[in-house]
Amino acid sequence: MEKIKVMIADDHLLAQQGLRRILEKVTDIECVAMAKNGERAVELARKKLPDVALIDVAMPVMNGIEATKAIKAACPNTAVIILSAYDYDHYVRACVEAGASGYLLKSDLLPRRLVNAIRTVYGGTNVFDRKAGEIMRRMAISKSKKGQDSNELRSRELQILKLVIKGMSNKEIASELHISEQTVGTHLANIFKKLGVQSRVEAMLYALKKGWDSLNEPGCE
């Protein structure tokens, strides 16, 4: 069985060791690297190419937000989960804009929840805890208009976007709509282009702001 390769980046040794002990008890996950600052995390990500990176938001030399930007630029296939002690709006916003696939509060981080989050982002779905999710919704409401309106999206594209909002991965969407994963990917690329966004999270924020998740039927061809 192929294991999910995970990198841990946290400047607190006890936190590092605690996270590693959790992962060592799971058969389908392997810790391949550990870093004590953001700069080192970027170096190790380029070398080890982890599937998932657990990044502490507050680290010396380079903080978790800047590290996430650098990791996503160098290793676009690495999913980043931000682990934070803070639920400030600007932290969540900055992490999402940096390309993070998840934002979890350390105070609510149970072992089982962490493991499930790793598996979830590895499968292509974003993971945000309740508080971060609420912040994202507020971000969506206040986000300034950009891109094109829903009448520029085809029926299938709106259908796929609504499933993305529900947290479904490309594989799950393909199964739900009886199409191939490649076709889902093509539709998503078209959606991103039409909305003027760069990621699933940005597309989801835009759609939530517009209220498209509540549409019963797409209003275009």
Predicted confidence (pLDDT) per residue in 200-219, tens digit: 888 887 777 666 655 443 33
More confident residue, 41 or 90: 41
Q: pLDDT digit string (tens) for 27-82?
A: 999 999 999 999 999 999 999 999 999 999 888 899 999 999 999 999 999 999 99
pTM for the predicted model, two decimal places = 0.64
Average pLDDT over residues 80-108: 84
Buried b (16+ CB within 10 A) or exposed e, 69-108: bbbbeebeebbbbbbbeebeeebbbbbbbbbbbbbbbeee
- Cα–Cα distance for residue pair 75/115, rounded to 1 Å: 22
User: Which DSSP letter does residue 51 get?
Assistant: S
Burial of 20 (0-12, 13-18, 19+ CB in 10 A): middle
Q: φ and ψ at 97, to 5 degrees? A: -65, -25
Q: Where does 85-215 show beta strands of DSSP type E? A: 102-105, 127-128
Which domains does the chain show, CATH number per domain?
Answer: 4-140 (3.40.50.2300), 144-214 (1.10.10.10)
3-state secondary structure of 99: coil
